[in-house]
């Protein structure tokens, strides 16, 4: 846990968020500035700064995050239509919050290439 990290604060319940899923190692909540009709953030409870800070000890965690993403897409009804999972890494990748997170986007046709 990092005391000044926005997502750690959400995980600790110090900042309100619409939490849609949580387990012992993962929390998912609505993105406050949705870029699609369905836009959620899936985050590990563990404070990991970026994708580049992952180690082999996190391999199961990342697998579990993808399992949660698929389950949420299914439960929320957009799995069959299709969806996108996005992880932005570092400034040029568009990362703004320095706690590893995966965007789960659905409810519209996605475009390619991404912006
Ligand atoms: P990124 O640019 O990949 O670091 O994404 C950060 C995301 O966090 C953005 O999509 C923001 O809209 C979202 N965000 C920022 N503050 C909050 C908050 N308080 N609650 C929920 N989502 C947030
Ligand atoms: Zn954090």
pLDDT tens per residue across span 2-61:
889 999 999 999 999 999 999 999 999 999 999 999 999 999 999 999 999 999 999 999
Of 40, 43, 35, 107, whose CA–CA distance to 77 is shortest? 107
pLDDT value for 2: 80
Q: What global pTM score does this model have?
A: 0.98
32 in contact with ligand 1, CB cutoff 6 A = yes
Burial degree of 115 (CB within 10 A; 0-12, 13-18, 19+): exposed
pLDDT tens per residue across span 54-79:
999 999 999 999 999 999 999 999 99
- Which atom of ligand 1 is found nearest the CA of 88? 3
Half-sphere exposure of 76 (CA within 13 A, CB side): 22
pLDDT value for 88: 98
Catalytic, 101? Answer yes
For residue 47, give the H/E element and its range.
Answer: none
CATH class given for the domain over 6-106: alpha beta
Give me ligand 1 centre to Cα 34, in Å.
Answer: 9
């Amino acid at each position: 846990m990092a005391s000044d990290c926005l997502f750690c604060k959400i995980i600790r319940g110090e900042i309100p968020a619409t939490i849609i899923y949580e387990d012992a190692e993962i929390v998912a909540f609505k993105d406050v500035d949705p870029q699609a009709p369905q836009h959620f953030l899936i985050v590990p409870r563990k404070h990991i700064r970026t994708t580049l800070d992952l180690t082999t000890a996190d391999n199961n965690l990342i697998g579990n995050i993808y399992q949660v993403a698929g389950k949420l897409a299914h439960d929320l009804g957009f799995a069959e239509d299709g969806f996108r999972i996005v992880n932005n890494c570092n400034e040029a990748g568009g990362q703004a919050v320095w706690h590893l997170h995966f965007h789960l986007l659905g409810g519209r046709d996605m475009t390619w290439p991404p912006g």
